[in-house]
Amino acid sequence: MNKIELLAPAGDLEKLKIAIVYGADAVYFGGEMFSLRAGAGNFSVEEMKEGVTFAHERGKKCYLTVNIFAHNEDIEPLGKYLNTIKDIGIDAFLVSDPGVFDLIREHDPDAVIHLSTQANMTNYKTAGFWYRMGVKRLVTARELTFEEIRLLRSHIPEDMELESFVHGAMCISYSGRCLLSNFMTERDANRGQCAHPCRWQYSLMEEKRPGEYYPIEEDDRGTYIMNSRDLCMIEHIPELIQAGICSAKIEGRMKSIYYVATVVHAYRQAIDAYYADPDNYEFNEEWLTELKKASHREFTTGFYFNQPTNLDQNYQTSAYNREYSFVGIVKSYDESTGYAIVEQRNKMTVGEEIEVFGPDISYFKQKVTEMYDFESGEAIESAPHPQEILKFKMNKPVRPDYILRKRITK
């Protein structure tokens, strides 16, 4: 049985490495131009080379997003860019614009092309068209139900793959085709610069009554009327696989390495548990509990089971739920002494309880009993400065890239 691919976001080189260490089979990322996440760190050509090498050495794949809707002024620089990166070894290009598709083919006739979700692929006739054009994989529109995906799968060639989003932010507009950001902030979502106005708070005000805001719904000072919950399908791994999806895609190129590690780790465990014994698979609630330790909005299953209703929106707030803080990442560990070298990411204080998790363990709890500044060797009571390097006493053995977190106290 071919395993479903776990595909993770990589907003920068560090996130790429963490995603792979924590169990991703493949990663997708953007270069410094021509990607729909201009706010992510994204990759220079040299970083792209390093990332692809890192992934390939571990048997993993790298997909480059070139999914803007190109304007005339984009064509010439995009051609030069494609010529610069054509020998890096990208495993596939994610494309939504037919012109970009042609341009990639001109510069690399053997390039593998995946159709981005931005292309709004919703039916098997459209799938057939793209298959004849040479597309290897379709990223389905988020608006498809399981029933539609199964029907699509039954009408397309066996060697054409389906990739679907399973976790992360949802867009109020049809597969991300949105002009709201452009209209309100002159930042074009279709060229990677979305300002996310769908998350803003809205009210109704009558022209001759300035300052008198009328409720649209739910709240007397306004509502987040376009604010979708986050997609979460970890409880439905069997349905995803049985629908014929070959790649389970996590959204979040602008999220932290802590988010990437947490989400990839949870889905890796769920997918592996299913394939270990499909007939007797049972969902483990601990996987969902772990997911909730990363910042998130309330969860929804999106369109998979039905058309979303008002219950799939959050009208009260656009804020994330944050119960845990990412406080550090292990750089090395000395088994003989039990001390780890830790790069701090948020404030830690002696006496606090933390949790430690890694790609090959669940997690364990311990108190911070002692910390030392790595350079001076002096004992310290707290570590408030970003990315301090600390010497840290661990209760159990750890490895590089294990992550430290603590519950946020209010």
Query: Domain containing 31 — which CATH number?
Result: 3.20.20.380
* 372 shares its domain with 291: no
Do 303 and 378 fall within a single domain? Answer: no
pLDDT digits (tens, 9 = 90+) for 66-94: 988 888 999 999 999 999 999 999 999 99
Structural domain including 398 reads 324-407
One domain for residues 280 and 155: yes
59, 151: one domain: yes
362-408 pLDDT, tens per residue?
999 999 999 999 999 999 999 988 889 999 999 999 999 999 999 99
Last residue of a domain, one of 273, 292, 312: 312
Judgement on whether residues 294 and 395 belong to the same structural domain of the protein:
no
Clarify whether residues 118 and 236 are in a common domain: yes
Specify if 190 maps to a domain.
no
Residue 158, in any domain of the structure = yes
313 pLDDT exceeds 70? no
Nearest to 254, CA basis, from 199, 311, 317, 193: 193
Same domain flag for 24 and 141: yes
Span 269-287, mean pLDDT? Answer: 97
Q: What is the tally of structural domains in the chain?
A: 2
Question: Which domain-ending residue is among 312, 342, 362?
Answer: 312
Report the half-sphere exposure of 187 (CA within 13 A, side-chain side).
12
Same domain assignment for residues 289 and 242: yes
Please tell me the distance from the alpha carbon of residue 363 to that of residue 355, in angstroms, as a whole number.
6
* 76 inside domain: yes
Is 242 in the same domain as 264?
yes
Place of tokens 């298959």: 131
Residue 264 φ/ψ region, left for φ over 0, alpha for ψ in the -120 to 50 degree band, beta for the rest = alpha
Asked if residue 128 belongs to a domain, the reply is yes
In which band, very low, low, confident or very high, does the pLDDT at 192 lie, cut at 50, 70 and 90? low
Q: Which domain CATH number covers 361?
A: 2.40.30.10
Residue by residue, DSSP assigns 265-324 as HHHHHHHHHHHH-GGG----HHHHHHHTTS-BPPEE-TTSSS---GGGB-SS--PPB--E
Residue 302 and residue 373: Cα distance in Å, rounded?
47
How many other C-beta atoms are found inside a 10 Å radius of the C-beta of residue 330? Answer: 20
**353 neighbors 367 (Cβ within 8 angstroms):** yes
Residue 201 domain-assigned (yes or no):
no
Three-class DSSP category at 114 = strand
- At 140-191, the pLDDT tens digits run 998 899 999 999 999 999 999 999 999 998 776 656 666 677 767 777 766 6
The answer to whether residue 235 sits within a structural domain is yes
Residue where one domain finishes, among candidates 312, 340, 362: 312
Residue 263, pLDDT score: 97
Query: Which of 9-13, 72-76, 282-286, 406-410 is least confident?
Result: 406-410
Per-residue pLDDT tens over the stretch 344-356: 999 999 999 999 9
Q: Is residue 281 located within the same domain as residue 133?
A: yes
Residues 253 and 369 in one domain: no
- Where in 35-172 does DSSP place strands (E)? 61-65, 92-95, 113-115, 137-139, 161-168
Q: Residue 284 falls within a domain, yes or no?
A: yes
* pLDDT given for residue 303 in this prediction: 87
Q: Are residues 22 and 130 in the same domain?
A: yes
Q: What is the dihedral of CA 72, 77, 81, 84, to 10 degrees?
A: 140
Report if residue 179 sits inside a domain.
Answer: no
